[in-house]
Amino acid sequence: MKNFSILQHKGIISDQFLSQKITDFSSACKYISELPYKRNLNKSNIKCVFDELAGTCSTKHAVLRKLALENNHPEVKLILGIFKMNTDYTFKIKKTLGKYHLSYIPEAHNYLKIKNEYFDFTKPDSDYRQFRNKILIEKEIEYDQIFAEKILFHKDFLKQWIVEEKIPYNLDEIWNIREQCIEDLQKNDEVEIQNSSSVCFAKSQELRDDYKL
């Protein structure tokens, strides 16, 4: 991965990293990946991962994108991808998918793209290769588009998927099935969630909209 130095007086995110003696991009990525997974109270605050010492796949990668922009590295792109969440990816949703006769359900995730390489810093062992063959669509977004725009893109994709794949459910029903899948994951990973899990789910509606295993 391309590395670069974090310069002084370049912006609020650069200053935050430098205040913790983190002086280059690779070290910043490592730091972010090691933060616990937790819903941030105010995702519109780009500093929320520092204020709360935790973040989601959205807020963690958004702050890295902002850091890159502050240091004149726009080639570090923030990506929103929709991938096939199926039982090959996680067996924990097998019962729910089976109940509704679905082979998979499209799920959203944020990560970085640098040149032609992809990077996932949700947690230390996250790896884009874990789901790259399941990607259905992806787009570049900005660090300030990780909530409302992300949900809208996800739901728009689901609407199209329902029609094209002749799914026998409407959007609200699919969204509820998706939420049940997330509940399934939550029940199985309760301990992990409390200890730096990369799983983006919880009972709150906002966090459900930010899910990624």
pLDDT bin (cut points 50, 70, 90) of residue 63 is very high
pLDDT surpasses 90 at 199: no
pLDDT computed for residue 212 by the predictor = 42
* 22-61 per-position pLDDT tens digit: 999 999 999 999 998 887 888 889 999 999 999 989 999 9
Q: What is the mean pLDDT of residues 129-153?
A: 93
Does the structure show a pLDDT above 70 at 207? no
CA dist 211 and 26 (Å) reads 25
Q: Which residue has better confidence, 202 or 118? A: 118
Q: Strands across the sheet with 117-119, in order?
A: 117-119, 104-114, 76-86, 135-141
Q: Predicted confidence band at 1 (pLDDT cuts at 50, 70, 90)? A: confident
Q: How far is CA 77 from CA 88, 148, 196, in A?
A: 28, 19, 24
- Nearest-Å Rg of the Cα atoms of the chain is 17
Pairing of strands 135-141, 104-114: unpaired
Lowest average pLDDT, out of 36-40, 91-95, 137-141, goes to 36-40
SS3 state of residue 85:
strand
| Partner residues linked to 84 by β-bridges | 106
pTM: 0.81
pLDDT over 60 at 190, yes or no: no
Banded model confidence at residue 16, pLDDT cuts 50, 70, 90? very high
CB 65 within 8 Å of CB 112: yes
Cross-strand partners of 108 = 82
Q: Which of 36-45, 70-79, 174-183, 184-193 has the lowest mean pLDDT?
A: 184-193
Domain extent listing, the chain: 12-208
Is the pLDDT assigned to residue 138 strictly greater than 60? yes
Among candidate residues 197, 81, 184, the one with its CA nearest the CA of residue 134: 81
Mean pLDDT, to the nearest integer, of 107-112?
94
